[in-house]
């Protein structure tokens, strides 16, 4: 099977400090990969580069066989619109749009997306569709953010500390949902976290330390999200 995403010798320098020091990796389709590491290790920087939100100082990122690091700004925007999605720790919902509109804005074409009603039922937000983000709890907001990210059936879902602001129950629910969506929609999920328990649920765990891959491990026996023990 061919990798859906490939990074070659990625380096990133911020203010003369080398954050990433030449990372190469391949991500297989329909996998759940966790990028694990302590604060300041460079994992979020790597995720941002893989998702096209940041340009590397050197090195290349390939989506299938296309180098996205060579894309023009408009090509990159098209790629983001059609092929990938992001979920952020702080949800980043658009506060002036209702939940329904927040989800719809994630669709790049009305004909190509998942049915909104089905998706909202799956994420248990169907009763919130006419509410505004400010009226929702953190867990509900993150599920809306997930709905917005997956409604277009992206190939890759990039999650940056997606459970970082949630309590145990909501975190488990979100992780379970992401696994379910991976299975049902055939998504590839790349999840940045420093939470070892979330890493236990993944197919593969890449540990980043000091801007380098410290460990790259295939998880033979991933646990389910509800088996996670919250410390």
Phi and psi dihedrals of 146, rounded to 5? -65, -45
| Listed ranges 15-23, 50-58, 213-221, 223-231: which one lies at the site for other proteins (CB under 8 A) | 50-58
Which residues on neighbouring strands pair with residue 215, listed in sequence order? 207
Query: CA distances (Å), 194 to each of 49, 136, 157, in order?
Result: 18, 26, 18
What is the contact mask toward other proteins in residues 149 to 188, using x (rule: CB under 8 A)? ----------------------------------------
Tokens 């940045």 appear where?
Answer: 192
Nearest approach, Cβ of residue 97 and other proteins (Å): 5
For residue 90, state whether it binds other proteins (rule: CB under 8 A): yes
Cβ neighbours of residue 139 under 8 Å, at least 6 residues apart?
A: 166, 167, 169, 170, 173, 174
Bridge-based pairing of strands 212-218 and 84-87 is unpaired
Which residues on neighbouring strands pair with residue 27, listed in sequence order? 5
For residue 15, state whether it binds other proteins (rule: CB under 8 A): no
User: From the centroid of its chain, how far is CA 30?
Assistant: 13
Nearest approach, Cβ of residue 19 and other proteins (Å): 12
Nearest approach, Cβ of residue 186 and other proteins (Å): 20
> Tokens standing for 196?
């070892």
Nearest approach, Cβ of residue 188 and other proteins (Å): 17
Binding residue count for other proteins, defined by CB under 8 A: 30
Distance CA 124, CA 120 (A): 6
Nearest approach, Cβ of residue 13 and other proteins (Å): 13
For residue 101, state whether it binds other proteins (rule: CB under 8 A): yes
What is the contact mask toward other proteins in residues 60 to 89, using x (rule: CB under 8 A)? -------------xx--xxxxxx---x-x-
Count other Cβ atoms within 10 Å, centred on residue 212: 13
User: Binding residues for other proteins, per CB under 8 A?
Assistant: 45, 48, 51-55, 73-74, 77-82, 86, 88, 90, 92, 94-97, 101, 104-106, 108, 134, 148
């Amino acid at each position: 099977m061919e990798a859906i995403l490939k990074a070659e010798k990625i380096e990133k320098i911020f203010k003369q400090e080398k954050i990433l020091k030449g990372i190469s990796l391949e991500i297989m389709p329909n996998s759940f990969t966790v990028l694990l590491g302590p604060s300041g290790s460079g994992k979020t920087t790597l995720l941002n580069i893989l998702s096209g939100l940041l340009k590397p100082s050197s090195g290349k990122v390939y989506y299938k066989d296309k180098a996205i690091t060579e894309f023009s700004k408009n090509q990159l925007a098209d790629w983001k619109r059609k092929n990938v999605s992001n979920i952020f720790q702080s949800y980043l919902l658009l506060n002036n749009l209702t939940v329904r509109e927040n989800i719809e804005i994630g669709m790049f074409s009305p004909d190509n997306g998942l049915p909104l009603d089905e998706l909202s039922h799956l994420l248990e937000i169907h009763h919130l569709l006419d509410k505004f983000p400010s009226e929702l709890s953190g867990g509900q907001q993150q599920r809306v953010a997930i709905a917005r990210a997956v409604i277009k059936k992206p190939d890759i879902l990039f999650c940056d500390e997606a459970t970082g602001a949630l309590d145990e129950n909501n975190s488990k629910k979100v992780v379970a949902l992401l696994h379910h969506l991976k299975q049902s929609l055939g998504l590839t999920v790349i999840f940045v976290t420093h939470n070892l328990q979330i890493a236990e649920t993944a197919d593969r765990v890449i540990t980043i330390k000091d801007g380098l891959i410290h460990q790259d491990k295939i998880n033979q026996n991933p646990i389910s999200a509800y088996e996670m023990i919250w410390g």
